[in-house]
Structure 1
Amino acid sequence: MTARVRLARVGYAVAVLMLLLAAWELVKSVVPERGVSIGDQRILPRTGDAALPHVWSVVTVLGERDGAGTVGGTLVRTAGFTLGLALLALVIGTVVGVALAVVMQRFAWVERGLFPYIVVSQTVPLIALAPLVAGWGGKIVIAGEPWRPWMSIAVIASYLAFFPVAVGMLRGLHAPPKASVELLYSYSAGWWDTLVHLRFPAAVPHLLPALRLAAAASVIGAVVAEISTGTAGGIGRQIIVFSQQATGNAARLYAAVLAAALLGVVITAIVGLAEVALRRYNRPAGAAGGGR
């Protein structure tokens, strides 16, 4: 990717952000504070400061005092805690997803029997699963150490992260043309050699987009898990704290929500480093084939 293309992408991202902020202020200036309703159905939201603060209010609130520090400092600290858990969940989800994909590619009967359940697993509401994982974890002791609340958050977030990795990796492992697979077999290459020298490189273009989805899912999972389990220290819990303080002005709440959204940008940028490391393999694998 040339420097000009990178600059253009950054410019597009900044332009979209400016348009969103302009739309935010336009809605606040045009829509009445009580919103617009037809009968009992509200069709446009309320725009008072308690519901939709000005953009500059969200920015300036970062300098307000919050306990021993500022709101901005609190958000940085709590976002850092959540980022660490999201990264751990991404690693766990990636390892589990890749392992499942390899097993399913190796054994067709495992893929036929397991893949539908992998898909169905994502229909379970995370907010319902989180208390169960926290409860089960409280009964686990690892090497004499009790289960920590942050471990439950990492497990719950990895539950969302493994799915796109497993699906993308499995598709990539099936990507090499049948002729290429048969060529390696003709050279007496076993399953492992074929996996390492053909299937893994061919899977990279499918794995990298999946990792981006998994990165975003890990942040969502970590935030929801913090809220669901009541674990303090992360941005999810901080959103709850600020929502309880948003009786007169919701600027702090919006600042926390935007900080959580920025976590997705940060972790996706970290995944981008993997794309740089694997750029030699990040190209189409040719005609798709179903050879095993």
Structure 2
Amino acid sequence: MRKALYALLGLAVAAALWEGYKAVGSPDGTVLFGVRVLPRADDLSMPHLWTVAERLGRPEITGGRPVWIVVLNACLFTLGITAAGFVIGALVGLLLAVAMERFRIVERGLLPYVILSQTVPLVALAPLVAGWGGTIMPAWAVVSVIAAYLAFFPVAVGMLRGLQSPPASGVELMRSYAAGWWRTLVKLRLPSALPYLFPALRLAGAAAVVGAVVGEISTGTRGGVGRLIIEYSREATSDPAKVYTAMLGAALLGLVVAGLVSLLELPLMRHRRHVEVVTL
């Protein structure tokens, strides 16, 4: 409940900042040393939040469905792609973390390239992935691969840090019991890695949403919220609030994915805290 209240408070602060800047900001933007550092505060660039909410209830086109239904369907389509990319990325990240923890030479040789992989611009990478996999995979699977590309990195790095977190005394105790690497991994390293794993999974979920949206935009995949942003942006001059409805849907989708990961965390971390209390 406390986390939910903090989330609502954060949304309220963001809304107050938006409307406050719109009330006092310049229609031409805030310029500092000849560089615009804050956006324009006119209705074309920053419509009122209630205008965006009102646009959600109006038809997308004359006689069509309300915008909120269109955005919801697009978000559900993107959610499916995000889930596939998240699962693939999380599994790849976990396997890489275990391999790097098991073999020091793998960590030294692979970790720099894992970090380097995230410096490649996704907009440049997405058309390449579409070109390589477009002939053997459907469009949604290509976008899932792009989402997995962003999702695996935080899991690999966070899980590696968690697997290496047990103190040396704990590892030595397992060795004194003649426990092999696998038993030490299951009984000691994996439980110790849980506090590191779930924050990494939340980051991976948000990254998967970004990858899915950018992948839909770059590959032209229809049906998702990424494509909806492109379609609505064509009406930015005549109907600016419509563009923000799609972007609002993408932002809420990221929050939903992070919330679903947090739900997975609750039973496992509660069990871990119970075990710690019993041990003490």
TM-score range, shorter chain: over 0.9
Question: Which moved further from structure 2: 38-47 or 68-77?
Answer: 38-47
Structure 2 residue 229 is the aligned partner of structure 1 residue 256: no
1:249 to partner: Cα distance:
3.0
2:117 counterpart of 1:121:
yes
**Deviations along 1:247-276, whole A, 9 cap, x unmatched?**
123101111111101111100111012111
Partner of 1:85: 81
Aligned to 1:35: 29
Aligned to 2:127: 131
1:99-140 CA deviation, whole Å, 9 max, x = no partner? 011111111111110111001000011111100101000233
- What SS does the aligned partner of 1:42 have? strand
Partner of 1:21: 15
CA distance in 1, matches of 2:31, 2:209: 35
In the alignment, what sits opposite 1:96? 92
**Distance in 2 between the 1:38 and 1:95 partners?**
46
Between Structure 1 and Structure 2, which shows a larger proportion of helix residues? 2
**In structure 1, distance between residues paired with 2:37 and 2:102:** 53
**C-alpha distance in 1 between matches for 2:162 and 2:26:** 52
Correspondent of 1:69 among 65, 72, 75: 65
Identity %: 52
User: Which is worse superposed, 209-218 or 17-26?
Assistant: 17-26
**Equivalences for residues 109-188 of structure 1 within 5 A:** 109-140=105-136, 147-188=137-178
Give 1:195 deviation, angstroms.
Answer: 0.9
Match of 1:54 in 2: 48
Structure-1 residue corresponding to 2:272: 281
CA shift for structure 1 position 42: 3.1
The Cα shift of 1:43 comes to 4.2
Asked if 1:244 corresponds to 2:240, the answer is no
CA RMSD of aligned residues (A): 1.9
Q: Quote the offset at 1:44 in angstroms.
A: 3.9
Distance in 1 between the 2:188 and 2:160 partners?
14
What letter matches 2:260 in structure 1? I
Q: TM-score, normalised by structure 2?
A: 0.92
Structure-2 change in CA distance of 1:281 and 1:246 (3 Å): same
Cα distance, 1:16 vs structure 2: 2.4
SS of residue matched to 1:90: helix
Change (3 A) 1:103 1:63: same
Q: How far is 1:38 from its partner?
A: 6.3
CA distance in 1, matches of 2:151, 2:33: 43
- Determine if contact 1:131/1:229 at 8 Å carries over to the other structure: yes
Unaligned stretches of 5+ in structure 1? 1-5, 141-146, 286-292
For residues 205-232 of structure 1, give each alpha carbon's deviation from its aligned partner in whole angstroms, at most 9, with x where no partner exists: 1101101110110001111111111111
- Which AA in structure 2 matches 1:250? P
Describe the superposition over 1:159-195 as per-residue Cα deviations: whole angstroms up to 9, x where unpaired: 0100010011111111111221122222221111111
How many residues align? The count is: 273
Q: Contact (CA 8 Å) 1:92, 1:158: kept in 2 or not?
A: yes
Q: TM-score, normalised by structure 1?
A: 0.88
